[in-house]
């Protein structure tokens, strides 16, 4: 509610007002840009545009302050998704930059995908997870909790990253990427 009050107080640009009014009518936090799309693996992916203010204020104790992009504002452009099923309309989850989420993959809760990362197949990014730096998450992988995946790492198969796990590939691109794959039962949001 505080964000809405600040926005109304400082709102001076009509384009932003147009997007926020669309949010109020539809209840959605983003829309698919029909005129801004790309093709990948024969599928059409649409850029997302924010319709509302959402995100979390900067946390001074955040170990990854540059990765948590924090606030998203109406009219901000995000990455590319295949359909609305790929990105939750609730919570603070967001796909930044030119990152891609496609297939049955899903980003939800407060998760962040950025840095030209790609989420494919049936992968799920949830909780407060961060995927950044050209990473690939695919197969039936789940990245959740406070997990962080960085630096062109690949998460595949039935891998589940939960709690505060960090995966970072120190191998320079285009050398072999780090692949984490294991099967483990864990509760995940």
Domain boundaries, the chain: 2-57+71-163
Contacts of 67 (CB under 8 A, 6+ apart): 112, 114, 130, 132, 148, 150
The pLDDT score that the predictor gives to residue 50 is: 94
Q: Are 187 and 160 in contact (CB under 8 A)?
A: no
Q: What is the pTM of this model?
A: 0.77
pLDDT digits (tens, 9 = 90+) for 89-137: 999 999 998 999 999 999 999 999 999 999 999 999 999 899 999 999 9
Instruction: Render pLDDT for 107-116 as a digit per residue (tens, 0 to 9).
Output: 999 999 999 9
Nearest to 108 by CA among 135, 138, 84: 84
Render pLDDT for 131-163 as a digit per residue (tens, 0 to 9).
Answer: 999 999 999 999 998 888 988 888 887 787 776
Cα(67)–Cα(106) distance, integer angstroms: 19
Residue 173 sits at the vertex; the CA angle it makes with 169 and 179, to the nearest 5 degrees, is: 40
Tokens standing for residue 127: 């909780």
């Amino acid at each position: 509610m505080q964000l809405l009050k600040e926005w109304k107080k400082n709102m001076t640009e009509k384009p932003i007002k147009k997007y926020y009014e669309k949010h109020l009518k539809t209840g959605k936090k983003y829309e698919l840009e029909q005129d801004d799309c790309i093709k990948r693996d024969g599928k059409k992916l649409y850029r997302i545009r924010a319709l509302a203010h959402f995100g979390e204020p900067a946390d001074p104790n955040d170990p990854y302050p540059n990765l948590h992009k924090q606030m998203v504002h109406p009219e901000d452009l995000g990455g590319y998704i295949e359909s609305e099923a790929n990105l939750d309309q609730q919570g603070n989850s967001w796909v930044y930059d030119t990152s891609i989420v496609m297939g049955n993959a899903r980003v939800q809760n407060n998760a962040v995908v950025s840095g030209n990362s790609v989420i494919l197949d049936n992968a799920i990014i949830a909780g407060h997870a961060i995927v950044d730096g050209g990473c690939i998450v695919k197969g039936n992988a789940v990245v959740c909790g406070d997990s962080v995946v960085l630096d062109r790492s690949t998460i595949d198969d039935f891998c589940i990253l939960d709690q505060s796990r960090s995966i970072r590939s120190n191998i320079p691109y285009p050398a072999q990427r780090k692949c984490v794959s294991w099967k483990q039962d864990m509760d995940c949001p």
